[in-house]
Each structure stands twice: as C-alpha cells, then as structure tokens.
C-alpha cells in the first residue's frame, strides 16, 4: 500500500507533466491569447476529472491490475503518453502510430479510461497542430480499434496474438491511406511508404512494449498476492497469535484451494489468498463477515478476494464465481476432517469416503448452483481433493 505522501507526489507529478506538455506545445506553436486560455481551461477541467476518477477507482481496486495498479504506474503511463504525443507532432499528418497509445494505456488504466485519455491526447495534438477534422476522425477511429484489439490481446494465446499483430498492421496501413485519399483525392508513393513505416513502428512498439508490460503486471500481481499470505504479513501474524489451529486451517485451505483452481484452470492466486483469509472474521467475533471485510479493506485487499470472503459459508449469498465455490468446498471439507480424530482419518479409505460424502452433500444442497461451476469441473475438483493429503 502506497503511503499518502508518495501518492501526493505522483499526483503532483502528473499535474506537472500536463503543464509541461502544454507548455511544450505552446512554445512550438504560435497561438492567440484566447486560444491559450481556452486550451488551459480544458486541460485543467480534464486533469481534475481524470485524477478524481482514477483515485476513486484505485481506492475501490477496480482498475484492471487491481492491487498492482499504483500511482507510480499511472504516473509513468501519463508521462510516456505525453512523450509519444509530442513526438507524434513531428510525424507526417495521417501517418502517426496513435494506435499504440490506447493499446498500451489499457494495460494500466483499463479500456474505458485508456480510450478517454487517448482521445484527450488526440484532441490536444489536433488542436495544437491545427489539424483538419478528417485527420481527427482518422486518429479517433484508429484509437478506438486499438483499444478493442488491446482488450482481446490481454487474454489471447500466442497464436491468436500473431493474428492480432496482423490486424494492427493492416489497420495502421489502410486507415491512414483511406482518409488521406478521401481528403486529397490522390495518394502518392511517398504516402504509401509513410503508411508502411507507420504500420511497422506501431506493431513493433506493441509487440515489445505490450508484452513486457503485461508480463511485468502479471509478475507484480502474483508478488502482491504472495505477500498477503507470507507468514510475516501482519494479518497472518495476527491469525497465528490468535490460534495456531486456525493458522494451520488457513494454510490447508489456501494450499488446497490453489491446487484445485489450477486443476480446472481457475484463478489459483485468488483462491490461495481467499482461502487463507476465508475465516478471518473468527478473530474478531460476530458479525464475522463484516469484521473480516473491514480488516481486509483496511489492508487494501483485492476486491476479487473480498468478494469471496463476503460469500463465506453461504451465509449472505451462495458463491457467485468458480473460485468462490472452490474455497467454500475446500473449507468445508478441511473443517470436517479436522473435527474427526486422527485415528479416524488415518486410513486413506476413510479420507476418501469423507471427501466424497462432504462434497456430494454440498453439491446436492445447491450451494454452487449460482457459481457457474460445471459438473465436469466439480468432478475434477473432487478427484483432486481425493488425491491430496487434506490434513498435511
């Protein structure tokens, strides 16, 4: 969790970047006083709304990278975007790789926020460079397509990404040529060369920058999750101090939930953390769920983890996701096995019977009807738990 003073520095840094970016354009272009005042007013209004909305989303953990999205990354994305936009002002009209901006920003800010920020930069670029409406339409359309492609790119396989790179290339090549021809009723060999250069640069930037940024994001998200279940994490220490039995239970549920999630391709890290803190409210007493959510919120837990914690024991509502269903059934099974004495559970046959009976009862009671957990997934989870040593 970033401290308030550092957060303020990043916000002030973004304000400074916006001011510096506009000053750079004002120095480059000769504008009348009323134009300068108008654009400054627009910038101030946009900046206030942008910082306010991003701050609210960051607090609520609804940005695409969740807990991995800090103000440092937002600051870096804004800085990088301003550098690109200023560099684009020197490119030939129409043949500007604007498709890169929305694609890269979507990794940090999400589709809607990245598109809004990209459209702002395009308006600034067109205003300061006094570009025609036809060029503006070209840039806007290409940016929208870039955002849609970036949304698919996040979940695409390696083979699918190759197809997406080809689409990036075609869009960056064809659209500027079409809009250029529409405005001038002709297109020369020089413009076609510019279009090819624009396409190649766009694809190279996306291949290099997008892949590295996405990989870094995934690593940081995993690191943040692992930090939450580290034995030295404050809440983990609190659970251990409260009860070693409760701590052992949390470790078992965490380990088995992650294993089951991996078995069916669900979010293993989300299950791992949610499983560890599934019974966090027991430290505080009634109301357990409210107290658990309060503690989790104070430690800036990911919203996706808190959603599972809120569905603890099907008390408030039944599990709504596959991950929540996994944690619920693992917790119920581990709890039953811990209640039975060691002699009873010493036989592998006994453990298997308890596993089958417990999970079948939960499924038959309709606990997972709203979780979108398929029967095939349920059977895989059940067999995975049968093969595991529950009380390890």
Express each pLDDT in 83-110 by its tens digit. 888 888 888 889 989 898 888 888 777 7
Using the predicted structure, report yes or no on whether residue 176 has a pLDDT greater than 60. Answer: yes
* pLDDT of 1 higher than 50: no
Q: What is the mean pLDDT of the chain?
A: 84
Residue 63 DSSP one-character state: S
pLDDT recorded at residue 15: 81
Contacts 24+ apart (CB under 8 A), 255-263: 255/392, 256/330, 256/333, 256/334, 256/385, 256/388, 256/390, 257/326, 257/327, 257/330, 259/384, 259/388, 260/326, 260/330, 260/381, 260/384, 260/385, 261/323, 261/326, 263/380, 263/381, 263/384
The overall longest dimension of the chain from CA atoms, in Å, is: 88
pLDDT at 136: 92
Residue 99 CA to residue 207 CA, distance in Å, equals 13
Determine contact, residues 387/334, Cβ cutoff 8 Å.
Answer: no
pLDDT tens-digit profile of 304-348? 888 999 999 888 889 999 999 999 999 999 988 887 765 555 555
Contacts of residues 151-160 at CB distance under 8 Å and 24 or more positions apart, as own/partner, are 151/106, 151/111, 153/103, 153/206, 153/210, 153/214, 154/64, 154/106, 154/107, 154/214
Highest-confidence range of 10-19, 50-59, 255-264, by mean pLDDT? 255-264
* Domain boundaries 232-387, CATH class: mainly alpha
Quickly list DSSP for 145-161: HHHHHHHHHTT--HHHH
Least confident of 135-144, 207-216, 289-298: 207-216
Nearest to 17 by CA among 43, 39, 41: 43
**How far apart (Å, rounded) are the C-alpha atoms in residues 270 and 200?**
38
DSSP string, 286-333: SSHHHHHHHHHHHTT--HHHHHHHHTGGGSSS---SHHHHHHHHHHHH
| Contacts for 174 with CB less than 8 Å, ≥ 6 apart | 195
Q: pLDDT band at residue 58, thresholds of 50, 70 and 90?
A: low
Pairwise pLDDT comparison (167 vs 299), residue with the higher score: 167
Classify the phi-psi angles of 248: left when phi > 0, otherwise alpha if psi is within -120 to 50, otherwise beta. alpha
Domain with CATH 1.10.3210 in the chain: 232-387
pLDDT above 70 covers a percentage of the chain that reads 89
Q: Is the pLDDT of residue 202 over 60?
A: yes
pLDDT, position 5:
60
Cα(385)–Cα(363) distance, rounded to whole angstroms? 15
- Give the pLDDT score at 33: 66
């Amino acid at each position: 969790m970033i401290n308030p003073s550092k957060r303020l520095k990043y916000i002030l840094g973004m304000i400074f970047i916006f001011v510096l970016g506009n000053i750079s354009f004002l120095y480059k272009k000769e504008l009348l006083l009323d134009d300068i005042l108008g654009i400054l007013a627009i910038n101030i209004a946009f900046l206030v709304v942008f910082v306010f909305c991003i701050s609210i989303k960051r607090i609520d953990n609804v940005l695409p990278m969740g807990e991995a999205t800090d103000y440092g990354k937002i600051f870096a994305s804004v800085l990088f975007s301003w550098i690109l936009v200023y560099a684009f002002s020197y490119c030939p009209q129409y043949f500007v790789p604007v498709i890169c901006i929305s694609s890269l920003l979507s990794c940090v800010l999400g589709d809607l926020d990245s598109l809004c920020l990209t459209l702002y930069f395009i308006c600034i670029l067109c205003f300061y460079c006094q570009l025609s409406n036809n060029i503006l339409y070209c840039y806007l359309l290409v940016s929208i397509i870039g955002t849609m492609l970036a949304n698919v790119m996040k979940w695409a396989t390696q083979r699918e990404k190759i197809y997406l790179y080809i689409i990036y290339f075609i869009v960056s090549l064809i659209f500027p040529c079409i809009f250029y021809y529409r405005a001038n009723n002709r297109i020369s060999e020089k413009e076609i060369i510019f279009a090819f250069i624009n396409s190649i640069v766009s694809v190279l930037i996306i291949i290099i920058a997008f892949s590295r940024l996405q990989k870094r994001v995934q690593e940081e998200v995993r690191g943040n999750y692992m930090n939450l279940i580290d034995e030295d994490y404050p809440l983990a220490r609190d659970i251990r101090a409260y009860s070693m039995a409760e701590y052992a239970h949390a470790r078992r549920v965490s380990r088995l939930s992650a294993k089951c999630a991996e078995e069916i391709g669900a979010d293993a890290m989300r299950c791992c953390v949610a499983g560890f803190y599934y019974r966090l409210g027991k430290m505080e007493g009634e109301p357990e769920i409210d107290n658990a959510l309060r503690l989790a919120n104070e430690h800036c837990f990911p919203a996706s983890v808190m959603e599972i914690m809120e569905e603890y024991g099907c008390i408030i509502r039944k599990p709504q996701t596959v991950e929540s269903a996994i944690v619920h059934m693992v917790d119920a099974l581990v709890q039953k096995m811990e209640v039975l004495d060691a002699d009873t559970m010493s036989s592998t046959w006994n453990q298997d019977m308890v596993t089958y009976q417990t999970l079948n009862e939960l499924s038959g009671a309709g606990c997972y009807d709203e979780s979108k957990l398929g029967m095939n997934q349920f059977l895989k989870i059940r067999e995975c738990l049968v093969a595991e040593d529950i009380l390890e």
